[in-house]
Structure 1
Amino acid sequence: MRTYNSTDTTSQKEALLNEIKGNLFEYLVAAYLSRLKGCEKAFITSFGGEIKKQFSEYETWLRLNDSELLKALPALCEKTALSLSKRVGEGVDNILVMGKSAGGSHDDRFGEADLLVIKKEQVIPISLKLCKGGAYVNTKSAGLKSFISKYFSRFDEAKEFQKEFTDSVDECFLQMGHELYEMNELDFKGRFDSSWTEAGFSELPGQLDKTMQSVVLNSYYKINQKLYELTQKLQAIDQEKFASSLWPLMGLADPNIIQATCFHSQKQREGNLSRYHFHSVHVYDFDHLASSLKGLELKPLKENISSFEISLGDTLLQIRIKPMNKFTTASYKVNCSIKG
């Protein structure tokens, strides 16, 4: 956890807010759920000493920086716990918050889990999100240069397709560099060197003029198009393998995991605009999405956009090319998110 008392920029403050919001949300949902399941004493025992002090600091920071959120969290968390209660069933011995207690230290066996519901013969992993109503919910961030080989490894063609994709990404980056250097009468030698910044040009796409910015964005669109084409090929080879490869991208690497997303929205209340009005809780699991397999459809690719969508019944999986802050390095990620 970083320093609470000072943040240099708006983006740093927002990042800290999201971190604190997520940590408190996980803790409070677990606390309410433990009360509903009669294991509150065991849950509280998991939190003590430095952990309690840390959560006290969270609350103090929120009280100063977003008191409205601090007031709204208990109701949002209670409704989320109520929605989860039936799904986890009875006979719960304890609930652990992953990474927040000695017993809940991160374990790769439980994938994207934020909570573990402990039973005598079963451990139920739970993934939690708190989002604005109607928003896409982030489920996976993956390295672009291993995306296909890692997540579509069931296919014999995965390594071949990954190499083809990586080569295409490198080609797009070099083409972008040549074009930007040439339009500014600079000599491109395969990478963005000191001559770029010495000439007074930014490494952030948002700080370029519109002409140069369009060159950068166009390279992202080309990378997205190539990934879309290879995704099409994978689906055509084997629809069943393709579908099963999507589960980890949707945050369901563990077939036993339950995903719960609490959505909040803005609402006028007593003359004031409330930003954290409870909207709904969406709880689903592997079986819920598996039932949507027959409706799986790769949506048509849109022009001038760095993402595409795969429809599974009433759920959309968005796959987006995510460049790093500086466009001057060939570093990209693939961000996956869902919307139901």
Structure 2
Amino acid sequence: MTLQRRILILVCAAALLAAVGALAVVRASSRADEKNQARAGGPRITRGEVSLTPGDGGRRIVFRNMAWGPHRDELATVPAGEPEGPRTASGVTCLRFHSAAGTGVCLQADKGGVQESYRAVVLDARLKEVSAHPLAGIPTRARVSPGGHLAAWTVFVGGDSYAGTNFSTRTSVLDLRTGRYDASLEDFTIRKDGKTYRNADVNFWGVTFTADERGFYATLATGGKTYLVRGDLAERTVTTLRENLECPSLSPDGTRLVFKKRVEGAPAEAPWRLYALDLATMRETPLAEERSVDDQVVWTDDKTVVYSLPGDFGADLYAVPADGSGAPARLMDSALAPAFLG
């Protein structure tokens, strides 16, 4: 054996040992993170299969896990009846997420390039990628229609908070049946006060779909004000209905919206309070949550909504009755962007 060949074998062996050692360190670190998390009182999290199929394994919550450790930012699941129980993590990471009828939409960071970018990924019931679409900015809202055939998402393309005025958004809608992709709701015809309206400062965010999967509600901002709009995907129109409504979320029975409303006297950085709107009477009812909520709520059923508030690890989830009664209650620690399935 030549000296050159001996050196080559030695180098390869050293590289293999280094790789094995690095893998052992990563595994040990992951186990240590999980043990430290358990000792700190956090939820127990293990890797496993996560399904978006309604009724698969009973009624469940799928959400972005915010608990610190190797599974942070992954989609995870728990039984709906045990929200603080052990979590099963999927390995799929999302910044924003929503799901219905076996379809998921995951807004995630795309780390493949030199600069960080973002994309919207449509997922099937087993969390396999169906399609992906580049995003123009930072993900902030995501919704899937009740029948699972439509997906919508909103990104910030300027600024980073709805609380101020220096921001711009872009909201897109994808029809999974036809493949039609509306890259921006700003291309829709706006009807305001009975007339066609155009303005360069128009922004949309916070889509929530109707059960017929043709209509939707959303927020329109223009002229320093926000409006609730009703949209028609077939006609490509939106019509203003009411002022001072943001991030509407339609109840499963289609009769009410819960939204965030700016209230007089609130701090500029925390200006909102949750309200419910009866669509038949247009009567507003304040919910029992008195803290400022910067989120688009999710309905657990026709009586209760869930939303996020800042927590030790980024966000915690709370629940409150949608009729103004009761009191808010913490639902889950270290969680964000839930979907209730089954």
Do both proteins adopt the same fold according to a TM-score greater than 0.5, normalized to the shorter chain?
A: no
Query: With CA pairs under 8 Å and 6+ residues apart, which has the higher RCO, 1 or 2?
Result: 1
Higher helix share: 1
TM category, shorter: under 0.3
Higher strand share: 2
